[in-house]
Amino acid sequence: MHTTLNLILQVAVIISVARLVGLVFRMFHQPQVIGEMAAGILLGPSFLGWLAPDWQAVLFPPDRLGYLHSLSQLGVLLFMFLVGLELEPKHLVGRGRTALVTSAASIVVPFVLGSLLALALFHSFAPAGARLLSFTLFMGAAMSVTAFPVLARILSERGLTRTKMGSLAIACAAVADVAAWCILAAVVTLARAEGDPSHFGAIVGGTAFYLVCMLTIVRRLARRIEVFYRNRGRVITQDLLAFVLLLFLTSAWITEWLGIHALFGAFLLGAVLPKDPGFVRALRDKLEDLTVVFLLPLFFADAGLRTHLGLLSGAGTWLAFALIMIVAVGGKLGGTALGARRMGLSWRESTAIGVLMNTRGLMELVILTIGLELGILSPALFAMMILMALTTTVMTTPVLERVYPAELIRREVVGGPEVDGYSILIPVSLPSAGPDLVHLAATLARGSSGGQIYALHLARASEQSFFDASVTPAGRASLAPLEPLLRAATNDAVEVQPLAFVSREPGADITAVAHAKGARLILMGWHKPVLSQSILGGTVNQVMREARCDVAVYVRRRFEPVRRVLVPYRGVHDRGALDLARRMAKGAAAPSAAGQQSFAWTSPHVTILHFVMPGDRPVRERERAGLRSAATAFESEGIELKVIETASPLDEAVAEARRGYDLVVVGVSEDWGLEPNLFSSRHERFAAECPASLLIVRRYERGEATTESIERSGTREVHERGSKVAPTRVA
């Protein structure tokens, strides 16, 4: 096959397999990059070469791997540049004595244990020609490293970036990585000097001169870059991007020429560039997708092609691997935990930090590749260390969940209720739905004293940057989907507290936040679920089943102001619909704190359509007597009560809804053909045939569930606060 054709085929296969395996790992709550690392091994001799050696030989012929190797090296150089770019000086300083001691323990303990392990493994597993000092220092450095980007991604996905434990882990990882790379630079210098003191002195002198230039001349030039960026409207122009890339290539070339590896030059240039958040984000956005999606999988495949897990055979080899795992986990996790505990953290927090610091991932893979290229690692030891890197990274998420459960994280990040009253939580998935929801929430809240409106956006983990460790509820980028809602709230003089963080399970997190904030109502917009035909499917289904408060789903169909509201009434969830309609009528007539009123919700006329089933005359007479009393009570609130005796409430409700109503507030019930049912739409006739907008309500009964009739609902307000919570079962 022609070389170019072969390269195109290699790249296409690598990207396809990497994305597929990465998605599988994500299903098991693992960072996608770990799956992509595993995909590289699957394409190598350890799996594809064993399963289909002929295919592997055609796809990856040994004499045509040079181009793939060159592209993979460019990818890892860009990756290290981005790692340096994201390295905040504030992670390294100003974290106090706790961070300093914990960081030192996370470096010194694994380095010492790794060096001692190297002495035991040198004669059996070091390649011919390897020097003991280089081998010992390299093993110590390899045991000390933490995968800073993967750790940041785990912290972001689990909402730990605002916690004390998460901040300390970020600081320790940053310090540990800088220290490990400094040690590795010394190892590379020793290995390339080949025992020649003059050569070693030339490398050290050249490196020192290079560092001085980077920290003086290039740092001053970096300030000019920041000024240029601001003067161009905070936009990374093509000329500015080209200039930064030229600096990146020059720095990498110089360090390779000096003999300390091009990776150090790429990393250091990223570290000295401006740390203006806008500049970092804009430059990262320009380069990250190409690097992470296209180039890094090539690096994983290149490393996988050199990984021969078949070399791990025999009792001696597996004993050596067991020792490597014991030293890796015991040194990094144990050393970090003991250091944190020594500084006064609880055992739970200390162990959680140790588990996070034990994440090695991609950074370990980069270091191990350097060791193999320099002849410090043998192929068998390289395979053992690769397997150790994958194992320690894969174990991070499940072990962390056991040590520091999600419930503790939510409690620390979200906090408790800030006010006592009728609080409303508005989860926002689509930004365009926000304004309508906040108008409605404001109207409902004005009908009660006290309370708070919370707007919540949960970004899925896959939407976040690979490097982003700054996703917090106060982060401006995180709140971007809430901006239309916040603008509408400002226009209506409504106070809204925004919340935003990353979530793997939006339904569970919505209910958890609502419970933590003491919300009395979750008000959701509707959009069609991916795997469901039901209005009440997907995340809506989960929230309706699990939330310990009322849930209302707004389905918008009309765009004019809401003037006429219909409430069909039959059962327990209809009492929730009735309660919201009454709040709406009361709140629409009440001015906001600034004396303004929402255009969309000005004094609607509410009609209650109460259905009475045909029955014995004495029963109907008692009902009518109660209904006359209820009608009088509702009339005082400006609410009209219509009573219809019918055996077919659904037909009558559909017919009435077609008579010019703008909004129908209806309870979740089989009576109206509305049930939370994930894979069914057979119960949704009312929603399908109703031309008006819908507010579908699932009532949460506090205290004992009851089928209290409308005559009792109309004569008193249902006060629910302070009573024991007991869920109403939703079919």
Q: What is the pLDDT of residues 596-613, one digit of tens each?
A: 444 445 567 888 888 877
Residues forming a β-bridge with 555:
694
Rounded to whole angstroms, the Cα distance separating 295 from 302 reads: 11
Count of positions (residues) in the chain = 731
Highest mean pLDDT among 455-469, 502-516, 625-639, 708-722: 502-516
725 DSSP assignment? B
pLDDT per residue over 279-331, tens digit each?
988 898 899 888 988 998 999 899 888 888 888 888 889 999 999 999 999 99
**Alpha carbon 214 to chain centroid, angstroms:** 35
Q: What average pLDDT score do residues 529-533 get? A: 48
| Lowest-pLDDT range of 290-294, 565-569, 678-682 | 678-682
| Lowest-pLDDT range of 9-13, 370-374, 722-726 | 722-726
User: In the prediction, which pLDDT does 475 show?
Assistant: 35
Strands of 639-645's sheet in order across: 496-503, 453-460, 424-427, 521-525, 550-555, 693-698, 663-667, 564-569, 605-612, 639-645
User: In the prediction, which pLDDT does 12 show?
Assistant: 94
User: In the prediction, which pLDDT does 715 show?
Assistant: 41
b/e per residue, 433-465, with b = 16+ CB within 10 A?
bbbbbbbbbbbbbbbbeebbbbbbbbbebeebb
Question: How much is the mean pLDDT over the chain?
Answer: 80
Burial bucket for residue 508 (CB in 10 Å: 0-12, 13-18, 19+): middle
Rounded to whole angstroms, the Cα distance separating 659 from 666 reads: 16
| pLDDT at position 422 over 90 | no
Checking phi first, is residue 450 left (phi over 0); if not, alpha (psi -120 to 50) or beta?
left
| Lowest-pLDDT range of 194-203, 363-372, 631-640 | 631-640
> What percent of the residues of the chain are helix, what percent strand, and what percent coil, each to the nearest 5?
60, 10, 30
pLDDT per residue over 91-136, tens digit each?
555 556 777 888 889 999 999 999 999 999 999 898 888 889 889 9
What residue ranges in 485-618 does DSSP mark as E strands? 496-503, 521-525, 550-555, 564-569, 605-612
| Lowest-pLDDT range of 138-152, 347-361, 454-468 | 454-468
Rounded to whole angstroms, the Cα distance separating 377 from 184 reads: 14
User: In the prediction, which pLDDT does 723 show?
Assistant: 33
578 confidence band (pLDDT: 50, 70, 90): confident
DSSP for 348-390, written as a single string:
HHHHHHHHHHT--HHHHHHHHHHHHHTTSS-HHHHHHHHHHHH
Q: What average pLDDT score do residues 327-353 get? A: 91
What residue ranges in 428-572 does DSSP mark as E strands? 453-460, 496-503, 521-525, 550-555, 564-569
pLDDT per residue over 202-217, tens digit each?
888 888 999 999 989 9
Q: Which residue has the higher pLDDT, 700 or 427?
A: 427
Domains and CATH numbers, the chain: 3-408 (1.20.1530.20), 421-713 (3.40.50.12370)
Q: What average pLDDT score do residues 57-62 get? A: 87
Helix H segments across 158-196? Answer: 164-193
User: In the prediction, which pLDDT does 240 show?
Assistant: 92
Q: What average pLDDT score do residues 704-722 get? A: 41
Among 201, 150, 188, 324, CA closest to 265: 188
Q: Which residue has the higher pLDDT, 421 or 133?
A: 133
Position of tokens 């982003």?
Answer: 468
pLDDT per residue over 482-509, tens digit each?
889 999 888 878 889 888 877 777 888 8
| Lowest-pLDDT range of 70-79, 142-151, 674-683 | 674-683
Burial bucket for residue 118 (CB in 10 Å: 0-12, 13-18, 19+): buried
Burial bucket for residue 712 (CB in 10 Å: 0-12, 13-18, 19+): middle
Which residues have a Cβ under 8 Å from the Cβ of 53 and sit 6 or more positions away?
none
- Global pTM reads 0.71
Q: What average pLDDT score do residues 560-573 get? A: 78
| pLDDT at position 256 over 80 | yes
Structural tokens at position 625: 């007597």
Q: What are phi and psi of 612, to 5 degrees?
A: -115, 125
In this structure, are residues 587 and 621 in contact, taking their beta carbons and an 8 Å threshold?
no
Among 725, 722, 705, CA closest to 573: 705
User: Could you give the percent of the chain with pLDDT greater than 70?
Assistant: 80
Radius of gyration, CA atoms only, the chain: 32
